[in-house]
Structure formats: C-alpha cells, structure tokens
Amino acid sequence: MENTEIWLGSLITKTPQEGRELAIKMARKTIGAIQSDPEVKKRLRPQYAEDAGLLVASAEVVALEFQTVAAANNYWR
Amino acid sequence: MENTEIWLGSLITKTPQEGRELAIKMARKTIGAIQSDPEVKKRLRPQYAEDAGLLVASAEVVALEFQTVAAANNYWR
Amino acid sequence: MENTEIWLGSLITKTPQEGRELAIKMARKTIGAIQSDPEVKKRLRPQYAEDAGLLVASAEVVALEFQTVAAANNYWR
Amino acid sequence: MENTEIWLGSLITKTPQEGRELAIKMARKTIGAIQSDPEVKKRLRPQYAEDAGLLVASAEVVALEFQTVAAANNYWR
Amino acid sequence: MENTEIWLGSLITKTPQEGRELAIKMARKTIGAIQSDPEVKKRLRPQYAEDAGLLVASAEVVALEFQTVAAANNYWR
Amino acid sequence: MENTEIWLGSLITKTPQEGRELAIKMARKTIGAIQSDPEVKKRLRPQYAEDAGLLVASAEVVALEFQTVAAANNYWR
C-alpha cells in the first residue's frame, strides 16, 4: 500500500498542452512500472535521449497515449 | 479446464490508475500466452527490463491496451 | 473450397477473456496466411517464443486485434 | 489509365472472414504500390515468409487494416 | 509562401481506392517534409523499395493514414 | 515557468494541411521534450533525415498524431 502512488487521478486536463504533458508522464510511468530499479533506470536514461531510434520510438508511445488523453477530453473542443 | 484461469472478467475499472494496471496486466498475460514455459519466461524477464528498446516497445503495447481499457470505461469521465 | 476453413465467423464473444483468446487466434491466423508451409512455421515458432523482442512485437499485434474485438463487443459493458 | 486496376471498390464484406482476406489484400497491395518491379517483389517474398520478425510486422499491418475494415462493416454485428 | 504547395485540400475522396492513393501520398509527403533534399531522397528511395523490413514499415504507415482517410469518408458507406 | 512555451493552444486548424503541419510539430516537440539539449539534438538531426528506417518510423509518429488532429477537427468535413 505504501508504495502505491496515485499519479493518474484523471485523464481530464485543462488544455491540450497539459494533455501532452500527461501523455509524456504516462509513457514514463509505464517504463517505471516495468523497470523499477532506480539504478537501472539511471543507466538507461541517456540511451533514450541520445539514440535517434529510441527517441522516435518514444515519440510513438507518447502519440498513442495522447490519442487516449485527447479523446477523453473530447479534443478540448 | 483446470489450466484456464479467468483473469479478464471485465474491462471496467474504478479509476484511471486501475485501468493502467489492467493494461500492464493485459500486456504481460499475452506474453505468458505465447511463451508459457516458466523457465524461459524467467530467462527473458531481465531482457525486457534492462534493454531500453524493449522497454519502449513494451510501453507501446501498454499504451495500446490502455486505449481499449479507457474507451471501455468511457474515459472515467 | 476444400482448403477454406471458416475460422472467423463472428467478432462477438461472451466474455472479455474469450475476446482475448480470439485476438490471439487472429494474430496467429495471419501468420499462417502469410506463411502456410507447416515445416517453416514449425521452424519459426521457437523464435517467437524465445526472443524477447519478437514476444513484445507479437503482444503489440494482439493488442491491436483486441482493440477491434473489444469495440465489436461494445467492450462487454 | 490502362495500368489502374480497381482492386478496392468497397470496404464492405459479407463476413468477418472476408474482411480478414480484404485486410491481407490491402497490406499486399501497398507493398506492390511501393515496389512494383515483379523481379524485386519475387526476390523479397521469401524474406517476409521466413523471417519471424517480418512475419510479426506484417501481421501488425494486417491488424491495422482489419481495424478499418471492421469499423466500415460496423463489426458485422 | 512560394514553397508552400497545397497538397492536402481535403480528406474526402470519391472511392476507397482514391482514399488508398491519398494515404500513400500522405505517407510520402511526410518523408518529404522531414527530408526535403532531393539528392538525399533519391539516394534513400531504392532502400525503401528493396528492403523487406522497410517495405513492411512503410505499409504500416499507409495503413495508419488510411484509417484516418476512411473515417473521414465515413468508410464510403 | 519561464521555460514553458505554450505551443499547443488548440488541436483545431483551418485546413487539413495545417492539421498535417501541426502533427509534424507535435512529433518534433515530443523529441524536444525527451531530449532538450540543443547540442545533442543538432547531432541527432541528420540521423533522422538520412536513415531510411528512421524516416519511416518518424512518418509513423506523424500518422498517429494526425489521427488525433483529424478527429479533433471532425475531419474538416
């Protein structure tokens, strides 16, 4: 119980840009859920950010998460 | 019959975060359905968690599963 | 005519878990449609199940098929 | 004009299984549109069918095309 | 202003097959937007068409674009 | 606060082509959010544009972002 941080209380955001930030957070939290060891995460982090292929793959995950967030917010129309 | 564990009784969850956990479970259960040998699974597990490319690919699967769970829950609106 | 097995009579399933099984079947049947030689299929099978990258890629296909099955079933709501 | 074969007159099919066949055809036709040289296509074909990674990637394309076909047919409900 | 060619005036097409052609055009135009140097594009083109993995990946992009075009056209129903 | 540039005020665009440009911008901004070091970004940029595999992967991200933008705009119908 102590470990369970509630980080996703809602998919609703005030603006598209906040929705974008939530999408990035969602992608990051999944990585954290699969690999929870802070040492390993620290070791892997520079790989994401400096490998062009990993950056594009990460951008794909964010695009998918944002599809969900945007639909939840009825596209902030 | 004995082997069939019912692990997906419903796509409905109380909160977005529980939906997130369900999405991760769905991704994991697929892996388990394709590769059911516990020895092999144990051998492969560290690969997912320590290979940046596999972590991002896994995050993509979770994002796709979550799209389904979120739609099922009408985005917890 | 003789070769045509009707394996996808409907996308409707009684439960989410049966929908999951259908999604896995759909993914497998596509592989079978592209590569129908039983000898080659037998040779490739261990690769899917023991290569972490292929397992994650297979899980992505299942996630996509399940999106369709779940929508067809109106998410078993 | 002469070269233009009309192969996609409609997304509507009588059954889910015919929808599946259409999805496979759509994926194949895209390959043919990008690489129209019959010699090259012949040379590449065994690669798809005997490389586990390419088979899974091809199955992903079919899953995406089928999402469209299934929605067009209102999931044959 | 002079460089801005309007190539996407509408997502509406008369037939599914024209929708398919639009989806292929959309995929190609993105490549052109990221890599606008005609010399480099000419150098890369044979790679797409003769590498089985790139062909399948390209087919995936076309499938995604077609999902959008098909929805825009209400599946030409 | 000073660093926070509001670049995504709305998903609504006047035309499909502007929607396309927004989709490309969204993909680029994600890369920028993950890798914010201008030196590294400058070093990676030629890789995207001259590697056929990265170009196709980038086109996939744009296709996904455009799905969201197009839905937000009700396909500019």
Give the pLDDT confidence of F7-63 residue by residue, as tens digits: 999 999 999 999 999 999 999 999 999 888 999 988 888 888 889 999 999 999 999
Compute the Cα dihedral for E19, B67, A9, B56 and give only its sign: negative
B37 within domain boundaries = yes
Task: Tell whether the model's pLDDT for residue F1 goes beyond 60.
Answer: no
Whole-complex ipTM: 0.95
**C72 chain-D contacts, CB cut-off 8 A:** 70, 75-77
A21 within domain boundaries = yes
pTM, to two decimals: 0.96
Distance CA(C69)–CA(B43), nearest Å, equals 32
Distance CA(D58)–CA(D54), nearest Å, equals 6
In chain F, the number of structural domains is 1
E4 within domain boundaries = no
Q: Do A66 and F68 touch (CB under 8 A)?
A: yes
* D40 in E contact zone (CB under 8 Å): yes
Over the stretch A9-18, which tens digit does the pLDDT of each residue have? 999 999 999 9
Whether chains B and A touch (3+ CB pairs under 8 A) is answered by yes
Distance CA(E22)–CA(E10), nearest Å, equals 10
Mean pLDDT of the C37-50 span: 88
pLDDT of res. C2: 46
The DSSP output letter for A73 is T
Over the stretch E27-67, which tens digit does the pLDDT of each residue have? 999 999 988 899 998 898 888 888 999 999 999 999 999 99
Q: What residue numbers bound the domain in which C28 lies? A: 16-76
E54 within domain boundaries = yes
Q: What is the mean pLDDT of each run of 10 residues along chain A (77 residues)?
A: 79 98 96 90 86 95 98 98
CA distance E11 to chain F (A): 7
Which positions ≥6 away from A20 have C-beta within 8 Å? Answer: A62, A66, A69, F8, F26, F29, F30
* Token pair in block for residue A59: 């951008």
User: What are the two backbone dihedrals, phi and then psi, of residue F35, each rounded to the nearest 5 degrees?
Assistant: -120, 100
Number of Cβ atoms within 10 Å of the Cβ of E2 = 4
User: Which alpha helices (DSSP H) does chain A contain, by range?
Assistant: 16-34, 38-50, 52-72
Residue given tokens 């914010």 in the structure block: F36
F25 within domain boundaries = yes
CA A33 vs. chain centroid, Å, equals: 11
Closest to C63 measured CA to CA, from A67, B65, D58: B65
F47 within domain boundaries = yes
Of the two residues F14 and B2, the one the predictor is more confident about is F14
**Which of B7, B40, B65 is nearest residue C49 as measured by Cβ atoms?**
B40
Over the stretch D10-64, which tens digit does the pLDDT of each residue have? 999 999 999 999 999 999 999 999 888 999 989 988 888 889 999 999 999 999 9
F23 within domain boundaries = yes
User: Which alpha helices (DSSP H) does chain F contain, by range?
Assistant: 16-34, 38-50, 52-72
Contact criterion met (CB below 8 Å) for E13 and E22: yes
**Which of A6, A58, A72 is nearest residue B56 as measured by Cβ atoms?**
A58
Q: Which residue of A has its CA nearest to F60?
A: A60
pLDDT of res. F2: 47
Distance CA(F69)–CA(F41), nearest Å, equals 26
E6 within domain boundaries = no
CA distance D39 to chain E (A): 11
Task: Tell whether the model's pLDDT for residue C1 goes beyond 80.
Answer: no
Residue E3 binned pLDDT confidence (cut-offs 50, 70, 90):
low
Residue C62 binned pLDDT confidence (cut-offs 50, 70, 90):
very high
